[in-house]
C-alpha cells in the first residue's frame, strides 16, 4: 500500500440516503483495510467500488519485476 501526505479517508453522511466512505490517494488493495473497521461499525455495506488507484501498486510491481 502506498500513501502520501494527501492520503485521507473522507466520510460523507447525508440526512437521507447512504453514507459514503472514500479513500483518497492510497494505492493498492491495502486501502480496504483502512475502512473495514469503520464499515463494520456504521451499518450494512451496499456497494464497494474500486477505482483505478487501487490497482496501480500491482501494475508498478509487475513492471519492476520484469526489469530484473
The answer to whether the CB of 43 falls within 8 A of the CB of 32 is no
Q: Is 58 in the site for other proteins (CB under 8 A)?
A: no
Distance (Å, whole) CA 50 – CA 36: 14
Distance (Å, whole) CA 9 – CA 58: 21
Query: Of 10 and 65, which has the nearer Cβ to other proteins?
Result: 10
- Furthest-apart CA atoms within the chain: distance in Å: 53
Binders of other proteins among 25-54, rule CB under 8 A? 25-28, 31-32, 34-35, 37-39, 41-51, 53-54
Q: State the residues that interact with other proteins by CB under 8 A.
A: 3-4, 7-16, 18-28, 31-32, 34-35, 37-39, 41-51, 53-54
Amino acid at each position: 500500500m502506498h500513501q502520501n501526505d494527501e492520503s485521507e479517508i473522507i466520510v460523507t453522511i447525508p440526512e437521507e440516503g447512504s453514507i459514503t466512505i472514500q479513500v483518497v490517494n492510497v494505492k493498492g488493495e491495502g486501502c480496504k483495510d483502512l475502512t473495514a473497521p469503520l464499515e463494520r461499525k456504521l451499518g450494512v455495506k451496499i456497494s464497494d467500488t474500486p477505482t483505478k488507484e487501487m490497482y496501480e501498486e500491482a501494475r508498478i510491481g509487475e513492471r519492476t519485476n520484469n526489469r530484473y
